[in-house]
């Protein structure tokens, strides 16, 4: 029973592949950009396929995976603001190409599609799964489109799709220094004061990547359908997270904050994860402990 993981070399993709392999499962890892520093390539025993979502039909028809975990996406808000078309191509077109291939050639028993808490956009938090999706900024819109397309294929074509809406992921092995935690860590490793792209007061719900992987694989196994929020239960500002990492470094440095927040950023986000908790899942790594693991890695 093979599981196809798209975006397998990413932060969450690598964690999911590691967990699947630890369970003795067969994994097909779809990789578009092969970064040798990815956690994925410290693992062994999976099938690596180099391809793009736009041409994923060949992979589906050849391997016929029974389970699919769709994590492949452009994940950065600043990139989406600079280049919305490429983000829409990756996140929106990539999703429909995959789901159409699964409709035509797949024999899947469960599909999990990763949306994001960003899909809720300007809706007031905390978000339940019934909260309206009110995105405005390009990245947020791209994730809402992913969400809607997935649920359309689920309802209209009877594909067994569950959509996950995760909070802010972090953890060891995150190679993207445009994100807050790896960016701050990279600056501190150089002995430099971290520079934030906001005033630091925006709040996010933080989720350790291995906890996100456990939740994703639980939902993949259960094939519940619908949308499910996945959050770590701890809300903190960007400045609080940065100060925590500075303290862990032992350096006497003061973070530098921007004069204003980036245009289009959502000020505050938090999730109601009651549905997931009712399934027996709970986060196992608190934010402070998770940041300590990141620093020690």
Strand 226-230 to 161-166 pairing: parallel
Nearest alpha-carbon partner for 98 in 71, 133, 138:
71
What letters, b where the CB count within 10 A reaches 16 and e where it falls short, cover 256-271? ebeeebeeebbeebbb
Of 71, 61, 149, nearest to 106 by C-alpha is: 61
Element of type H or E holding 189: helix 180-189
* Residue 166 token pair: 């995760």
DSSP H helices in 49-160: 57-63, 77-82, 84-88, 94-105, 138-157
Distance separating alpha carbons of residues 215 and 228, to the nearest angstrom:
10
Element (H, E) at 117: none
29 Cβ neighbours under 8 A, 6+ residues apart = 5, 8, 9, 13, 17, 40, 46, 47, 48, 49
Rg (CA), the chain: 18
Catalytic, out of 127, 139, 170, 208: 139
Is residue 200 within 8 A of residue 246, CB to CB? The reply is: no
Q: Is 153 a catalytic residue?
A: no
CA atoms of 249 and 61, how far apart (whole Å): 49
User: CA–CA distance from 194 to each of 111, 119, 182, 202 (Å)?
Assistant: 39, 28, 11, 16
Handedness of CA 231, 52, 225, 84 (dihedral sign): positive
- Residues marked as catalytic: 139
């Amino acid at each position: 029973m093979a599981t196809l993981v798209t975006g397998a070399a990413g932060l969450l993709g690598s964690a999911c592949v590691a967990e699947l392999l630890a369970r003795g499962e067969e994994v097909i890892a779809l990789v578009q950009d092969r970064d040798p520093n990815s956690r994925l390539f410290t693992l062994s025993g999976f099938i690596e396929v180099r391809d793009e979502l736009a041409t994923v039909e060949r992979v589906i028809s050849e391997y016929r995976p029974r389970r699919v975990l769709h994590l492949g996406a452009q994940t950065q808000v600043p990139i989406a603001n600079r280049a919305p078309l490429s983000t829409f191509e990756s996140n929106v077109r990539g999703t429909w190409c995959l789901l159409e291939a699964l409709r035509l050639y797949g024999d899947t028993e469960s599909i999990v599609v990763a949306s994001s808490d960003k899909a809720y956009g300007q809706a007031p938090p905390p978000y339940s799964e019934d909260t309206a999706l009110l995105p405005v900024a390009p990245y947020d819109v791209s994730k809402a489109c992913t969400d809607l397309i997935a649920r359309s294929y689920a309802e209209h074509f009877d594909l067994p799709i569950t959509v996950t809406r995760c909070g802010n992921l972090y953890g060891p092995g995150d190679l993207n220094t445009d994100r807050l935690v790896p960016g701050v860590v990279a600056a501190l490793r150089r002995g430099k004061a971290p520079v934030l792209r906001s005033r630091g007061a925006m709040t996010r719900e933080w989720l350790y990547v291995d906890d996100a992987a456990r939740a994703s694989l639980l939902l993949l196994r259960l094939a519940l359908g619908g949308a499910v929020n996945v959050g770590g239960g701890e809300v903190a500002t960007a400045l609080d997270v940065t100060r925590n990492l500075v303290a862990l470094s032992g350096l006497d440095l003061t973070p530098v904050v921007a004069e204003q927040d980036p245009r289009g950023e959502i000020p505050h986000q938090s999730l109601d994860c009651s549905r997931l908790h009712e399934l027996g899942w709970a986060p196992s790594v608190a934010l402070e402990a998770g940041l300590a693991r990141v620093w020690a890695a």
